[in-house]
Structure 1
């Protein structure tokens, strides 16, 4: 699995954390995901799925197709919120554009309590 991101992502601890978090999602690393999210995580994939809590996240990760590449175009962080947009290519060549908005439990912690994702199939 390949991740492509802009060079400015490496000089911010929160941006670096978000890249690692996306890699954990892409590789189905539930241990990393659960260690860095609140137990009552609320993940809304708009117009598709609403996922609540670690057990539901674990099921989604287990059922997700294998990702071959993620391109991160932009990461914006401020206080206890962050946003990432980019594209995801799956091994069967499906391509999706996405934008996810993350809410952390506080500005100083890397524990995510909510995610809202907007996903559009490109092919």
Structure 2
């Protein structure tokens, strides 16, 4: 079971709530939630690692990542403005590793219902 710790200001708007739920779903491996909230032409740029283009490839990468169990997700900040948003925090893994991350999102539209692109910076701490 994944422990979730989130700053109190991480749900002050519908898009901030969306990003919080998206990150929680990612940590818990909730594939259904994630797949329903990305566009078919999603672009996920994992800086220093890979650039994933398209929903099918995105799903394939998520499947591979499911084996890396997150035991704690700490969300420090969530920001949103117009068609863009950002999240940063810490992920503690079952294997004992800890990662700091920042993610930058571009929504399909200003309503923020689906993610069109995602840029991830992730380092082991």
Q: TM-score, normalised by structure 1?
A: 0.93
Q: Specify every segment of 5 or more residues in structure 2 that has no aligned partner in the other structure, as ranges.
A: none
Structure 1 residue aligned with 2:56 = 55
* Aligned pairs, number: 122
Match of 2:75 among 69, 72, 76: 72
Deviation at 1:59, TM superposition (A): 1.6
Instruction: Give distance in 2, aligned partners of 1:49 and 1:3.
Output: 27
Instruction: Give distance in 1, aligned partners of 2:37 and 2:59.
Output: 13
CA RMSD for the aligned pairs?
1.1
Q: Once the two structures are superposed, what CA deviation does each residue of 1:59-81 show, in whole Å capped at 9, x if it has no partner?
A: 22221101111111111100000
Instruction: Give distance in 2, aligned partners of 1:24 and 1:15.
Output: 14
Instruction: Give distance in 2, aligned partners of 1:76 and 1:10.
Output: 10
Q: Specify every segment of 5 or more residues in structure 1 that has no aligned partner in the other structure, as ranges.
A: none
3-state secondary structure, aligned to 1:20:
helix
3-state secondary structure, aligned to 2:112:
coil
Query: What pairs with 1:14-93 in structure 2 (closer than 5 Å)?
Result: 14-64=15-65, 65-93=68-96
Q: TM-score, normalised by structure 2?
A: 0.92
